[in-house]
Structure 1
């Protein structure tokens, strides 16, 4: 994740929290959580406000949450009442730890040139048969918008990246609209990816 994008979240954390904390994510949870074992260990990678972490904890899952923004780490720690780790994707160094990894609207800030390395780290951190959820804004460009850097992906673009990971296989991908009322015109690529045994 670029320094510019991290700085954006540090400087605009209050606005981001206000716009994202109460967004209804239930349709996406319903695609992810049924695939996990009871009391699964989840990594919420790029947890932001801690909204999704809080939901997973309430469902009986064990969750490790990380984020690259110090301001969001501080807020999320208070919101979920457990420590959130200040860490970037590139600093993930776990091996065969997690039953599931949740990357909701977070990998989209990783430069395209680094995505393959990040997916390798995520695959290494997953247990065999582990489940990875990812979402990207739909498109095929790298761009800067309001101070944040974005990597947009289509189904083909994501498949190209995942095909370089021998242990990962896309189980499902689908398109959704943005759940925030003022951004209903924006489209998202969602995918469930499984780590092969």
Structure 2
């Protein structure tokens, strides 16, 4: 995510976001992701926000690299969860066969549609053989800003599956639902699990 207006929103609302996502235990999607990885495996949490998911992965024994573009999210990750977050974006995924799993939870939806294929290709390259990718996005069509100024790219299930397949990944599980986010609106979403 390199949209400066979107990053500025997260900088300004970092504590609100922490309050929104803080929980005593990981949700079922994160638990399933952790369970799919080998004991002591390597994971990447890209667009990690304050690092709540990365902290759960670390607590489960995984070695985790956490990346987020927001200065305030990086600072809060250290303060609240005691983890080191690298300030960066999807462009910083340059590894080859490094990760057993990549957690891309509601962060790629801030990427311009034109850039999505190359970022998915980079994640595919960074995964070990049979590695697991979990990606969550809001569903719909088009690109626009939400009520608090964040840039969004919306995906249909068919479009996202096609993008994953084109990147060399195999979608294996889909979960669709809706929930309230930082902007206060209730929006439909999809979480897809795919494998290298």
Report the TM-score when normalising by structure 1.
Answer: 0.90
Pair 1:122–1:56, CA change in 2 (3 A): same
Q: Do residues 135 (structure 1) and 136 (structure 2) align?
A: yes
CA–CA distance in structure 1, aligned partners of residues 101 and 117 of structure 2: 19
Q: Which residue of 2 aligns with 1:162?
A: 164
Match 2:150 to one of 129, 148, 151: 148
**Contact 2:97 / 2:129 at 8 angstroms: preserved in 1?**
yes
Q: Do residues 39 (structure 1) and 43 (structure 2) align?
A: no
Q: Which residue of 2 aligns with 1:123?
A: 124
CA–CA distance in structure 2, aligned partners of residues 141 and 163 of structure 1: 21
CA–CA distance in structure 2, aligned partners of residues 115 and 24 of structure 1: 30
Q: CA deviation at 1:36?
A: 1.0
Q: CA deviation at 1:186?
A: 2.3
1:1-197 counterparts in 2 under 5 A?
1=1, 2-22=3-23, 25-145=26-146, 146-165=148-167, 167-178=168-179, 185-195=186-196
Q: CA deviation at 1:37?
A: 0.7
CA–CA distance in structure 2, aligned partners of residues 137 and 58 of structure 1: 28
Show CA shifts across 1:149-186 (max 9, x none): 01111111102212321x31111112023276996842
Aligned length: 194
What stretches of structure 2 of length at least 5 have no aligned partner? none
CA–CA distance in structure 2, aligned partners of residues 127 and 177 of structure 1: 31
Q: What's the RMSD between the two structures over aligned residues? A: 2.1
3-state SS, counterpart of residue 178 of structure 1:
strand
What stretches of structure 1 of length at least 5 have no aligned partner? none
